[in-house]
Structure 1
Amino acid sequence: MDSNSSRGKRTSLQPMRAAGRQRVEELLEAASDLMAERGYEATTMAEIAARAGAKIGSLYRFFPNKEAVADALVQRHIAVLEDEYAALAKRAATLSPDALADVLIELLVTLHPRVKSLSALMEARTDKMEIRDRARGHAIVGIAAALRVCAPGLEEALARDIAAVVLNTMKVLRGMITKNAPTTPDAPDELRRMHRLYLADRLEPFRRAPDSITDAEP
């Protein structure tokens, strides 16, 4: 067994002290920046340490290899998604469908810098489909939960279908804003209007309590 394989079985060190936790956050932030900029394969442990302003020994103290750094980043990104969608579900009770549409659109735009290396990690890893499915699954479940809070009569299966449409709309809009998707100057605003109309059409019939709905769409 080569050294890389044996090292890959070692786990990351979980610091107990606040200073250690802060250092780990700095190292992970540096790794996320570099992997988003250059890709997973091109990023080295030495570059991560240098970007974080840390000694290489400090990085290896917490993470035995780059794969361990990647594992920690995936967990960090998934936790961010869980927290943000949980917060969204709490907010949704006070939002109209139009307002919820705007909040959802902005959410993916604001989330992207916090999970910026997730795409690079998914592209590089052998378990990328599992990571992608986890990220998408959390997003769909989180959006569906917010939709059902906003429209209490909405059934879970339909909420997830609508959530999948919303998630794809969010991704297209982010691509337009970042110029990674075909666009024109006013196209993002048009997509926002379409998104509002879609959610208003699908949610309004279910805004009443479930036992009072008699003529809602299936």
Structure 2
Amino acid sequence: MNSNTSSEKRGTLQPRRASGRQRVAELLAAASDLMAERGYEATTMAEIAARAGAKIGSLYRFFPNKEAIAETLLQQHIMALHDEYEMLAQRAADLSPEELADVLIDLMATLYPCMKSLPALMEARTDRTAIRDRSRGQALAGIAAALRICAPGLEEQVAGDIAAVVLNNMKVMLGMTLKDAPTTPGAPDELRRMNRLYLSSRLAPCRATKAVRGSGENC
């Protein structure tokens, strides 16, 4: 879309009233759905307004152009991931390795409905590699932190290695959910079972104290 208008110089409007915030949320949800369905480039401002049941003037009131919508959505997605891993860290001490495994394996699939436009947004950016690396690093750090809270005796490097395996399992689960990866009706449950067994075997020996390292377990 050609956004070479005076509105391009205006920033995104932050509404103060609840009704305005609700309208912005509806517009962003419509934009996210359309971009997930059609891609970033194919989505137009007019289509976003129509999907949200809003007048085009209402959309331009809050967002000067499509780029502003995309930037807002991207920041929302990044913040949602950050908040999710923060909440996971707060819960991890009270979770067993099997419970933590279940939470992690379904995390991406659970978040997908509110982050479905992320792949389209990433593909539209010239700095997508840097953003993807930062997002991956954030995910690995968040998973590793939860693992070490759940199993205090786990060494940092080992936690990072396990986090990488778990992150790949999470991506496979999302692919199965979206039917983008080879799957069968029972395959997601098998993946959950595999992730459960894996984390139980790796975290259980390291849950008590760091003193368990002397027992020969690789923590």
Provide the TM-score with structure 1 as the length reference.
0.91
Q: Secondary structure at the match of 1:4?
A: coil
Write out per-residue CA displacement over residues 29-80 of structure 1, whole angstroms, 9 at most, x where no aligned residue.
1111111111111110011111111111111111111111000000011111
Distance 1:133 1:86 in 2: 19
CA contact (8 A) 1:26 1:52 kept: yes
Distance 2:210 2:9 in 1: 51
| C-alpha deviation, 1:10, in angstroms | 3.8
Q: What is the aligned-residue identity percentage?
A: 70
Alpha carbon RMSD of aligned pairs, Å?
A: 1.9
1:36 aligns with 2:15: no
- Unaligned residue ranges in structure 1 (runs of 5+): none
Q: Tell me what 2:91 maps to.
A: 91
CA contact (8 A) 1:13 1:61 kept: yes
Write out per-residue CA displacement over residues 100-121 of structure 1, whole angstroms, 9 at most, x where no aligned residue.
1111112221111111100111
CA contact (8 A) 1:173 1:191 kept: yes
Runs of 4+ in 1 over 4 A off after TM superposition: 5-9
| C-alpha deviation, 1:193, in angstroms | 1.8
CA contact (8 A) 1:140 1:164 kept: yes
Distance 1:156 1:91 in 2: 19
1:155 aligns with 2:155: yes
Q: Tell me what 1:194 maps to.
A: 194
Provide the TM-score with structure 2 as the length reference.
0.91
Distance 1:175 1:212 in 2: 37
Q: Tell me what 1:144 maps to.
A: 144
- Unaligned residue ranges in structure 2 (runs of 5+): none
Write out per-residue CA displacement over residues 84-111 of structure 1, whole angstroms, 9 at most, x where no aligned residue.
1111111111111111111111222111
| C-alpha deviation, 1:155, in angstroms | 2.4
Distance 1:5 1:156 in 2: 51
1:50 aligns with 2:50: yes
Q: How many residues align?
A: 217
Q: Tell me what 1:217 maps to.
A: 218
Distance 2:81 2:154 in 1: 23
CA contact (8 A) 1:153 1:209 kept: yes
Letter in 2 for 1:133: D
